[in-house]
Amino acid sequence: MKKISILGSTGSIGVSTLEIVAELPERYRVVGLTAGNNLLRLKEQIRRFRPLLVAVPDPEDARRLRTELGSDGPEVAEGVEGLIACATLAEADMIVSAIVGVAGLVPTMAAVEAGKDVALANKETLVAAGSLVMEAVTRKKIRFHPVDSEHSAIFQALEGHRLEDVRQLILTASGGPFLNSGLAQLKQVTPEAALAHPNWSMGRKISIDSATMMNKGLEVIEASWLFSLPADRISVHIHPQSIIHSMVEYIDGSIIAQMGIPDMKTPIAYALSYPERLPLRLPPLDLCSLGALTFSAPDKEKFACLGLAYEALRAGGTAPAVLNAANELAVAAFLKGEIGFTDISVIIRLALDDHHPEPLHHIDEALRADRWGRDAARRAIDSMN
């Protein structure tokens, strides 16, 4: 029986994780849950999965939960301290890190430092502070399994191979809802259109990141830290069918790919159960009715965010934290209707150009760079309006 604590249980990844737990109650028990909002869904999850500890960032939400759950309910913690308590819970064997954004960094790092195994969905953690997180993962000798489908695919394609035999990693990208739109059309894009991903059902922030292809940029940085390879050995191919989830090319020219239907339950389950595989109740991939699997190079002009992420990775130090922060702020501004879709990359460009990257020694420096990136993006938005 593996005991798990889920950070971000009410989100897309959190809910899929709980669906797997519900299918396999003899293998998994939920001991901790956290949510940033959607108390209604959190309460349902508490009733169903009976965790020992629950945490919400807002003290008012915590008070309300305590009253509504009564004396039979679990302990309810609040604030960042509450998230850390869930991430380091003595009873938990594994933490599923599924908060969205840099808000996941502090609790995820706390889990690693507490020696917990981690299933990582929260890519922003590695973007903002990859060097520090991976140093702690190595020092603590924990299991740190990728949930992101691309990284799960690469992890699987690397198994049994030597890193020195790798020529490059090839991340696949669907291209999002605007793969076939012209640059001029992108200027008119509404949040509703940008949120409608053709293949995957995901949270709002990552859906916008997929539409701008910043998601793939963040994944390039994530892959660089997870698999210890530099930017020039990670490439991105557009693959609109989202069947091949990513590939590894070896020095003998051989390419190993991992395939499956686009459902996050598969990579979540593998992160939970590695090295075993779980008998998931998902429709099989019907190879004979698939048709062609196609690949092409991304349009660099249309998807400027992808190039910005490569730039930040090459610049190193605090640059990726600033890229991530400016992106988070710009995406939120786009969703509120404050800026246009194509302004997202312009704002990140301005923030990065203004930034002088510094080396990262401590998580506080990553958090400071994050605040700096948000301020720079805010200034850029104000100057545009």
d(CA 17, CA 92): 15
d(CA 189, CA 184): 10
Cβ 262 to ligand NAD shortest distance, Å: 9
In Å, the largest CA–CA distance within the chain is 63
* 3 state SS of 39: helix
Sign (positive or negative) of CA dihedral 325, 173, 36, 7 = negative
- From 148, 222, 328, 343, residue interacting with Mg ion (rule: CB under 5 A): 148
Which listed range, 8-16, 163-171, 191-199, 339-347, lies at the site for ligand NAD (CB under 6 A)?
Answer: 8-16
Phi, psi of 96 (to 5 degrees): -95, 115
Restricted to residues 268-327, the positions that interact with ligand NAD (CB under 6 A) are none
- From 122, 242, 246, 273, residue interacting with ligand NAD (rule: CB under 6 A): 122
The CA distances from residue 261 to 15, 107, 241, 290, in Å, are: 18, 31, 9, 10
Residue 228 burial (CB count, 10 A) = 10
**124 contributes a contact to ligand NAD by CB under 6 A:** yes
Cβ 63 to ligand NAD shortest distance, Å: 17
Which listed range, 118-126, 137-145, 243-251, 311-319, lies at the site for ligand NAD (CB under 6 A)?
Answer: 118-126
Residue nearest Mg ion, Cβ-based: 148
**10 contributes a contact to ligand NAD by CB under 6 A:** yes
- From 95, 106, 110, 123, residue interacting with ligand NAD (rule: CB under 6 A): 123
- 130: which residues sit within 8 A by CB, 6+ positions away? 221, 222, 224, 225, 320
How does DSSP assign 44-89, residue by residue? HHHHHH--SEEEES-HHHHHHHHHHH-TTSPEEEEHHHHHHHHHT-
Q: Pick from ligand NAD, Mg ion, none: which does 35 bind, CB < 5 to 8 A by kind?
A: ligand NAD
Cβ 239 to ligand NAD shortest distance, Å: 16
Cβ 168 to Mg ion shortest distance, Å: 18
Restricted to residues 135-174, the positions that interact with ligand NAD (CB under 6 A) are 148
- From 52, 137, 179, 206, residue interacting with ligand NAD (rule: CB under 6 A): 206
Q: x/- site string to ligand NAD, residues 70 to 109, per CB under 6 A?
A: ----------------------------xxx--x------
Nearer to ligand NAD, 127 or 189 (CB): 127
Q: Pick from ligand NAD, Mg ion, none: which does 11 bind, CB < 5 to 8 A by kind?
A: ligand NAD
The CA distances from residue 322 to 316, 332, 352, in Å, are: 11, 15, 7
Here the tokens at position 186 are 């992108």
**200 contributes a contact to ligand NAD by CB under 6 A:** yes
d(CA 370, CA 280): 38
Q: Minimal CA–CA distance to 221: which of 167, 117, 151, 147?
A: 151
Applying CB under 6 A, which residues contact ligand NAD?
8-14, 35-38, 57, 98-100, 103, 121-124, 148, 200, 202-206, 264
